[in-house]
């Protein structure tokens, strides 16, 4: 089976493609615009240094060679795919801000997909007919690298809206659990993906965002590195949940791929 992943939100497409090819002998490729991969997340696949129109046409032409197209957040691409390849199965995979609170305005795009996935359970509030499949975490990459210093905690600013706020949430959680808090502004000072495991392993705790009621991908990566995470609800979590292990996620997806290619 040949699978093309279009766009690569948070590097999820690269993780799926890598483990799918390893475990199920599929032939996968991931394509992403270089301009939008500033953290170097496309470690499996390719980035194209081109504009929006060139990317769209190039991906559309490439799609002819594949059995199934897995589109990540780039929902405007789905109607085009179905015009040119009406019988080719297309999965649309939403990862967060593209759809959160915007279901009505995105309907004209997502209704053309053969199957819709969301990667966080709270997104089912926007798309109740979608299927929740958890984000996989690359266990080759995110793992404990050293003993973690006691009581050290990190809070990472990743959204423009957080800039300039007084950080009441992470400060209150650090006080609650007796933690020494550090703050990293990932907007002003990006952490390359290749350096993220070493960065996370400097700490014992990660305080996650509180404005979305699900664990962020960074929080899951921290759990895989052996950190404890303070979740959005103030509860302490330890250990990567089994549902996020790449072998589990790719098995779910492979079963879906087989079903769609049989009926597509």
DSSP characters for 200-235? Answer: HTT-SEEEPPSSSSS--HHHHHHHHTT-EEE-TTS-
pTM: 0.91
Tens digits of per-residue pLDDT, 128-179?
Answer: 999 999 999 999 999 998 777 789 999 998 765 444 456 889 999 999 999 9
Look at residue 163 in the predicted model and tell me its pLDDT: 46
Give the pLDDT mean for 230-242.
95
Q: Which CATH architecture has domain 2-135+245-263?
A: 3-Layer(aba) Sandwich (3.40)
Spatial separation of the C-alpha atoms in residues 22 and 138, rounded to whole Å: 13
Give the rounded distance of the alpha carbon of 164 from its chain centre.
Answer: 26
Question: For every residue of 3-20, which 3-state class applies, written as one string?
Answer: EEEECCHHHHHHHHHHHH
Look at residue 159 in the predicted model and tell me its pLDDT: 62
DSSP state at residue 150: T
């Amino acid at each position: 089976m040949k699978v093309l992943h279009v766009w690569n939100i948070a590097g999820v497409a690269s993780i799926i493609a890598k483990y799918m090819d390893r475990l199920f002998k599929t032939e996968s490729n991931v394509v992403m615009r270089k301009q939008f991969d500033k953290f170097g997340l496309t470690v499996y696949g390719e980035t194209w240094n081109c504009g929006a129109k060139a990317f769209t046409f190039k991906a559309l032409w490439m799609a002819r060679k594949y059995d199934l197209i897995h589109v990540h957040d780039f929902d405007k691409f789905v109607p085009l795919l179905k015009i040119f390849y009406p019988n080719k199965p297309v999965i649309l995979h939403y990862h967060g801000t593209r759809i959160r609170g915007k279901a009505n305005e995105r309907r004209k795009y997502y209704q053309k997909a053969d199957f819709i996935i969301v990667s966080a359970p709270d997104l089912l509030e926007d798309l109740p007919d979608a299927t929740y499949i958890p984000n996989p975490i690359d266990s080759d990459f995110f793992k404990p690298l050293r003993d973690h210093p006691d009581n050290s905690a990190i809070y990472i600013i990743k959204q423009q809206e957080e800039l300039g706020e007084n950080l009441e949430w992470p400060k209150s959680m650090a006080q609650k659990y007796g933690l020494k808090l550090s703050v990293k502004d990932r907007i002003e000072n990006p952490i390359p993906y290749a350096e993220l495991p070493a960065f996370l392993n400097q700490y014992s705790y990660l305080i996650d965002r509180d404005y979305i009621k699900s664990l962020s991908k960074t929080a899951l990566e921290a759990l895989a590195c052996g950190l404890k995470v303070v979740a959005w609800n103030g509860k302490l979590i330890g250990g990567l949940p089994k549902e996020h292990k790449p072998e589990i996620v790719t098995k779910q997806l492979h079963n879906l791929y087989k079903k769609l290619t049989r009926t597509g």
